[in-house]
Chains A and B, each alone.
Chain A
Amino acid sequence: EIVLTQSPATLSLSPGERATLSCRASQSVASYLAWYQQRPGQAPRLLIYDASNRATGVPARFSGSGSGTDFTLTISSLDSEDFAVYYCQQRSDWPLTFGGGTKVEIK
């Protein structure tokens, strides 16, 4: 199965700062990668699909890039509601897999 490795595990930043999250795949997933946000006690929320497409209603400060094995989620200026855990997921091959997550916490 395709293993997704997210880094860093934890990112400590202040509101207004830029966040850069990484997801690396064990083999190419082309552009078939999504990013989800999960706030404490809530269900996951789709942010980005197919590497760079923002889902409906997602603010423009969220952007995704990459292809093949290396992907990045960027939050241009952190809002208080953005402190959460972020997961990447590949849909290139079965079984679908998630990365281990990156927690973005308030510094």
Chain B
Amino acid sequence: EVQLLESGGGLVQPGGSLRLSCATSGFSFSSYSMTWVRQAPGKGLEWVSALSGTGSGTYYADSVKGRFTISRDNSKNMLYLEMNSLRAEDTAVYYCAKNMRSSSSSCDYWGQGTLVTVSS
């Protein structure tokens, strides 16, 4: 059974940093691209970032480019999102998701999300 479990969310001040983690199991992690998607309270879904299976290909939304870094540890089946220079508009539930194939493919499995709140 495929499982994705996010952690690392919480309350952080504007300008601060946070690292999200996504623990995965039930599939051959290194064979699949992975994605982060966020959802601000009461709003729709926003694609944030994607990463190829080898970690060599990274993709970012313009709203987070230069501030967020996606990475993975294939030896630990873990996905990460390093978030710096956080802003109030980054407040959201962050979901990690498994891609069906490539980094641009649809996401067939999702975690339950972790809430990030950026506020003073």
Contacts and interface: CB of A to CB of B under 8 A. Distances in A.
Interface stretch (B57-65, B69-77, B84-92): B57-65
A98 interface: yes
A8 B46 CA distance: 19
In which size bucket is the chain A interface?
20 to 34
A95 interface: yes
Q: Which of B62, B104, B107, B112 has the most CB of A within 10 A?
A: B107
Interface residues of B, number: 21
Nearest to B100: A49
B41 interface: no
Interface in B29-56: 37, 44-47, 50
A87 interface: yes
A94 B65 CA distance: 13
Interface of chain A: mostly helix, strand, loop or mixed: loop
Interface string A72-88: 00000000000000010
Contacts of A97: 47
Contacts of B105: 49, 91
Interface of A: 1, 32, 34, 36, 38, 42-46, 49-50, 55-56, 87, 89, 91, 94-101
**Closest 7 A/B residue pairs (Cβ):** A43-B110, A49-B106, A34-B106, A96-B47, A91-B104, A98-B45, A101-B44
